Amino acid sequence: MWNNVSDPLWRESGLGGDVELTKAFVVLDNQISSIPRPPRPPLSSWLWLKATEKLQIIDGLYKSFVDFARRQSAPGAVPAPVKDWLDLAESILMDPKTSAMQAVRKLQGLLQHGDLFRSILQDEHPDVCELQLSQHQLIYDTYNTISLTEIKGYAMMQFSWMLLRIYGKGNYTQEASLTRQRYGERTAQTAAAARAALAMAKRDLYRCDPPQHIEGETYAEVTRLLQGYIENEVDMNADGTCRDNCAAYTVAENHGCFKDQFCAKQNACKGRILNCKYIDSDMWVCPSSRTSNRRYEWIEYENGRTLGRVGSCMRGTTKVDSWWRWLFWHCSYCMCLCDEASQDSDRYFSLWDTTSDVKNNKVVTGLRLVKLGRVFHLQISEGTLGERGSVTPGDWVPLQKFDPSEPGMRDGVDYHKLTFERRAIDLDELDSPAGHILTGVRFSLMGAHLHFEIRSTPFNYATGRLAPERSQWISNDNTDGAEVPRKRLELYAPDIPTRSHTPLPVDSSHDQFVEFTHSDYDADAAQSTVPFVDIQPVMPMKGAGLTSGAGIIHRGARGSGGFIGVKLFTYDYSTHIKAEPPASEFDVDSDTTEFVPIVN
C-alpha cells in the first residue's frame, strides 16, 4: 500500500489517491468484519473497566472512519472537502484525549505484565454457573476483543499516515514504520500474556444450585431403590416364627401378613428386604400420601428417637407395637431396606449412544441429564462447526423414549438397572486429545459400575471441517479392584440435598465413584434415594461454545446426599493464539517528519 501511496501516478489516477486509499481500506474492513465478533467479556475489575474505556474510544472512531470511507468510495460519490479528510486524520492521530493513538498507548499500559488476564484467574466469577463461561473462555474472549480492536486502531493510524503523505504534509514513512513496529510488539506481548493465563485457566463448566430447587426442572430422583421399610420378623420367614432378631435378616423377603396387623396398612415389599435392624419395640408412624414416592413421612419411637422430620400428619399417625409370643419370643418390628424394582421405582439408565451429526459437521454444544418415564438419558445439543472454532448454535438432539418393560429391551444392552449390588456410578472427567473436539457421550457398563464415555473427533481448526471416520470413544477404564483402585466417594449421613441451607460445591474428582443409596435414617427415615440427579443443562455461550470433553461429577457436602451432574470442558484455544506482525513496506532510510497540528 505504501508503494502505491508513494507513486505519483497512483495519486493522480481517476478518483484521486485519497479515494483510492479509502477503497483499499473498505476492502480491509470487509475482512475485519468477517472475523466472528467475540462476546464482550462480563468482567467488572478496575483494569477491565479502564480497558473498556479505551476500547470504546477506538471502536467509536473506527465506526466513524468506516462510515466516512464507505461514503467516499461509493460509486458516483462527490469527494468530501480536503479539510474533512484532514480533520479525520487529526482525530485519529492528534486529539490528546480521544485519538486512537492515545487510546492504544494507554491500553498497552493496562495490559503490561499480563495483569488483566491474571485478574480473571484470581477473581471469583459467577460465570461458570450462571453465564456458562469457563475461565479459559473468558480469557480467550478478552484477548480476541482486545486484538480485534487493536487491528482497527492500527488500520486507522496507517490510513492517516498515508493520507497525510498523499496530501503532501510530509513523508511519514518512519512514523508509519514505528507504528507497525509498536503494533507488532504490543500484539506479541498481549498474545504471550494471554497464552500464559490460558495455560493456568480452568476449562470446565457445570451447574451450581439454582435459586430454587424444582423437581422436574432443576433435578430428578432415582426412586425407591433402597427405601426404609418397617416389617415384623414374623413376616420375613416361611415358618412365621420370631426365634431370631432383626439383625439376622440381612437378606429376606415378605412371606405374608400375620393377623392383618401393621402389614395390612401398607404396601408389602415384593422385592428383597435387606439389612434389617432393631430400633425400639413400639412407634408411631406417619404414612405418606398414596401418590408419594415415600412410604413414611416420619417415625417416632417410644424411646424418643425420631426418623425424619416429625410434624403434622395428613393421613393421621398409626400406632405400631411389637408383641410377645408365648412369653419366650419377641416378635419385633424391624427397620429394613426394600429393594423392589416395581413400576414405582425409577432406577434405569439408558446405554444408547448420544452423538452429534458429524456427517453434517455438527458438534456437541451442550449436555444434560434427562428423565423420561423411568429412565435417565444423556442428551446433547449440537451446533454447526465453522472456521477458526466458531459454532452456529443448533438444537437439542431428540431422545427416543422407551420403557424397560417393552419387548426387546435388554438389561445391560439397552439400559442399566440399579440394584443393591449394581448401584455405583463412575465419576470421571474426560477430555479429547489435541486437535479433537467432543461429538458424543454415552453410558456403558464397567463391571457393576455405570460408566461414562465420550466420543472425540479430529478437526481442522482453520477450515472447521471434521474427520468423522477418525472418531474414537474415550473412557477411564479403571476399577475399584485395579492395582491403583478407583476411589469411593463416601456419603456421610446423607440428607435430602434440596434441604441444604448452603450451596453444594463439587466434592468429587476424576477416578472416583459413588453409590446410589438411601437417605439418612435419622434425617429422612431412609425414604429417598440419593444422590439426586441435577438435570440443569450445561451449555457454554448458549450453544455457541466449542467443547472438547465432558464428565460426571458429584456436588455435595457432609450431611447431604448431593447431586449427580454433568460437566463440559471448553476447547483449549491456547495453541491458536499467535501474533503475526504485518508485512513491512517501509523504506527505513526515509526522512522522519516531525508531526505538527494539521492546518489546511
pLDDT tens figures, 479-531: 877 889 999 999 999 999 999 999 999 999 999 999 999 999 999 999 999 99
Angle at 135 between CA 131 and CA 139, to 5 degrees: 105
Q: Are residues 240 and 198 in the same domain?
A: no
pLDDT number for residue 99? 92
Q: Are residues 399 and 257 in the same domain?
A: no
Q: What is the rounded average pLDDT of the residues 593-599? A: 35
How far is it, in rounded angstroms, from Cα 181 to Cα 173?
Answer: 12
Q: Is residue 583 part of a domain?
A: no
- The DSSP bridge partners found for residue 325 are 329
Three-state secondary structure call for residue 383: strand
The set of residues, in sequence order, having a beta carbon less than 8 Å from that of 450 and lying 6+ positions away, is: 349, 416, 418, 424, 425, 426, 443
Strand 306-307 and strand 296-301: the pairing is antiparallel
Alpha carbon distance 151, 32 (integer Å): 8
Given a cut of 90, whether residue 309 has pLDDT beyond it is yes
Note the pLDDT of residue 583.
Answer: 60
Report whether pLDDT(567) > 90. yes
Given a contact cutoff of 8 angstroms between Cβ atoms, the answer to whether 363 and 392 are in contact is no
Query: Which pLDDT score is estimated for 586?
Result: 45
What confidence category does residue 12 fall into, taking pLDDT thresholds of 50, 70 and 90? low
Identify which of 285, 296, 288, 282 has the alpha carbon closest to the alpha carbon of residue 333.
282
Q: Contact 525/496 with Cβ under 8 angstroms?
A: no
Main-chain phi, psi angles of 4, to 5 degrees: -65, -45
Q: Which of 31, 36, 45 is nearest to 573 (CA)?
A: 36
Q: Is residue 592 part of a domain?
A: no
Boundaries of domain holding 521: 205-222+348-576
At 470 the three-state DSSP class reads helix
**pLDDT tens, 59-117?**
999 999 999 999 988 888 888 898 999 999 999 998 888 899 999 999 988 887 778 88
Judge if 249 and 217 occupy the same domain. no
Does the structure show a pLDDT above 50 at 595? no
| pLDDT band at residue 39 using 50, 70 and 90 as cut-offs | confident
- The reply to whether 594 falls in a domain is no
pLDDT tens-digit map of 161-177: 999 988 888 888 899 99
Whether pLDDT at 153 is above 50: yes
173 falls within a domain = yes
DSSP string covering 160-206, please? Answer: HHHHHHHTTS---HHHHHHHHHHHHHHHHHHHHHHHHHHHHS--EE-
Residue with grid cell 459454532, as numbered in its chain:
391
Helix 46-73 with 135-166: angle, nearest 10 deg: 40
Question: Same structural domain for residues 568 and 514?
Answer: yes
pLDDT for res 289:
93
- Are 208 and 563 in contact by the 8 Å Cβ rule? The answer is no
Q: Which of 167, 202, 237 is the last residue of a domain?
A: 202
Task: Indicate if 375 and 473 belong to the same structural domain.
Answer: yes
Q: At what angle are helices 100-111 and 46-73 packed, to 10 degrees?
A: 150
> For the segment 351-394, what is each residue's pLDDT rounded down to a tens digit?
999 999 999 999 999 999 999 999 999 999 999 999 989 999 99
Strand 375-385 versus strand 391-392 pairing type: antiparallel
Domain-located, residue 585: no
Closest CA to 283 of 329, 317, 244, 235: 317
Instruction: Please state, in angstroms and as integers, the Cα–Cα distance from residue 495 to each residue in 267, 505, 521, following that order.
Output: 24, 15, 9
The whole-angstrom separation of Cα 237 and Cα 233 is: 7
Residues 156 and 22 in one domain: yes
pLDDT per residue as tens digits for the range 430-461? 999 999 999 999 999 999 999 999 999 999 99
CB 346 within 8 A of CB 371: yes
Average pLDDT, the chain: 90
Q: Do 327 and 434 share a domain, yes or no? A: no
Domain boundary among 339, 368, 384: 339
User: CA 89, CA 65: separation in Å to the nearest integer?
Assistant: 9
**599 found inside a domain:** no
Cell of 513: 465413584
Rounded Cα distance between 536 and 546, Å, is 19
Residues 144 and 245 in one domain: no
Residue whose entry in the numeric block shows the C-alpha cell 444422590: 531
Question: Pick from 294, 320, 339: which residue ends a domain?
Answer: 339
Instruction: Give the HSE-up count for residue 213: Cα atoms under 13 Å, Cβ half-sphere.
Output: 20
- Band the pLDDT of 4: cuts 50, 70, 90: low
pLDDT of residue 115: 80
Q: What is the pLDDT at residue 384?
A: 97
Residue 597 lies in a domain: no
Q: Report residue 41's pLDDT band, with 50, 70 and 90 as the boundaries.
A: confident
What nine digits make up the cell of 490?
A: 463416601
Q: pLDDT tens for residues 254-265?
A: 999 998 889 999
Residues 381 and 254 in one domain: no
Q: What angle do CA 468, 471, 475 make, to 5 degrees?
A: 155
Helix residue ranges, H only, 501-546: 521-524
Distance from CA of residue 352 to its chain's centroid? 22
For 9, the enclosing helix (H) or strand (E) is helix 8-11
**What is the pTM for the complete model shown?**
0.87
pLDDT of residue 171: 85
Question: Is a pLDDT exceeding 90 seen at residue 580?
Answer: no
CA distance 468 to 361: 8
Range 329-349 burial, b when 16+ CB lie within 10 A, else e = eebbbbbbbbbbbeeebbbbb
Total of domains in the chain: 3
Contact of 441 with 381, CB cutoff 8 Å: no
- pLDDT (average), residues 215-223: 97
pLDDT at residue number 587: 45
SS3 555: strand
Residues 314 and 385 in one domain: no
Same-domain pairing of 241 and 360: no
| Cα torsion 107, 112, 117, 119: sign | negative
Residues 354 and 295 reside in one and the same domain:
no
Q: Does 588 fall in a domain?
A: no
With DSSP H G I counted as helix, E B as strand and the rest as coil, what are the percentages for the chain, rounded to 5?
30, 25, 45
Q: What is the mean pLDDT of residues 299-328?
A: 91
User: What gap in Å lies between CA 237 and CA 254, rounded to an integer?
Assistant: 7
Strands (E), 332-448: 333-339, 348-350, 354-355, 362-372, 375-385, 391-392, 415-417, 424-427, 429-431, 436-446
Note the Cα 271 to chain centre separation in Å: 39
Residue predicted with more confidence, 415 or 77: 415
Which of the two residues, 97 and 465, has the higher pLDDT score? 465
